[in-house]
Amino acid sequence: MEMAGCKMQMMLALCCFIMLATLPPIHGWGTDGHSIICKIAQSRLSDAAADSVNELLPKWAEDDLGSVCSWADQVRFRYRWSSPLHFINTPEICSYKYTNNLTESLLFLSHFMGDIHQACSRIPKSDENSKFHYRKKKGITLMSITFQPLHVGFAADKGGNTIDVHWYRRKAVLHHVWDTDIIETAEKRFYDSNVDSLVDAIQQNITSEWADEVKRWETCGLNKTACPDQYASEGIKAACDWAYKGVQQESVLEDDYFLSRLPIVHRRLAQGGVRLAATLNRIFG
């Protein structure tokens, strides 16, 4: 049962990784944002990783990773202890320095999953115990690293949650604009309210406009399972350059803001999907 123990530890590690990376009180993305990242990732999985992920999905998901990626948001009130680990508060400076429990937790779990993978890889593939079936599991394992820029936002405004704005004619807070409003407005205006069409557009950019960058997205150059410091540094830069820029209390955000920020949202979703797939491919071989 040695292999069974390894697989179970991987499942537990991934569950923890998800909860630490995606549970609110400040959501990583809205439902569509999470789904987009997971749909992109699933299309990039190796055969071994795809098989492992499909085994871990519940039957009702019908092998669609994107359908379960909002699980962490749905159970957020049950796991209140995890809330402080969900975001990185920075002082009002546009750079990131490692000081937060989220990064510490992600680094620990990165090493933990890497150690498990190395240990499991030494077990002969012919071992009969390597055949496992997880369809009876009620839990679900997925990983969705948060790439929403305002999760590395300023402590003073709680990542844009205390900045009241108008998204066109509707009241909102800046954080929600980046969680949900930009994505949903894009879907309605350009993709006939079809999230799969938006996914297809982002995937086309991954293989064309961003093709030369994908290898750099997949690794931080240090052979780690995940690279949270790098993700956080990118996040605060995007927050300063795009999310916060030009926004004050009661700002009215319309086409100028939406159309200039949409490419940034597309890019962050693409990076999340590419990196999620790369991480799962490294874990599951």
> What per-residue confidence (pLDDT) applies to 89?
73
Confidence band for 283, pLDDT divided at 50, 70 and 90: confident
Domains located in the chain, CATH noted: 2-142+164-284 (1.10.575.10)
Q: What is the pLDDT of residues 162-186, one digit of tens each?
A: 999 999 999 999 999 999 999 999 9
Q: Taking 90 as the threshold, does the pLDDT of residue 211 lie above it?
A: yes
pTM of the model: 0.76
> What per-residue confidence (pLDDT) applies to 282?
85
Q: Taking 80 as the threshold, does the pLDDT of residue 23 lie above it?
A: no
> What per-residue confidence (pLDDT) applies to 50?
94
What's the first-to-final CA gap in the chain, in angstroms? 20
Confidence band for 93, pLDDT divided at 50, 70 and 90: confident
Q: Is 107 exposed, middle or buried (0-12, 13-18, 19+ CB in 10 A)?
A: middle
Average pLDDT over residues 210-237: 82
Q: Taking 80 as the threshold, does the pLDDT of residue 10 lie above it?
A: no
Closest CA to 235 of 76, 75, 26: 26
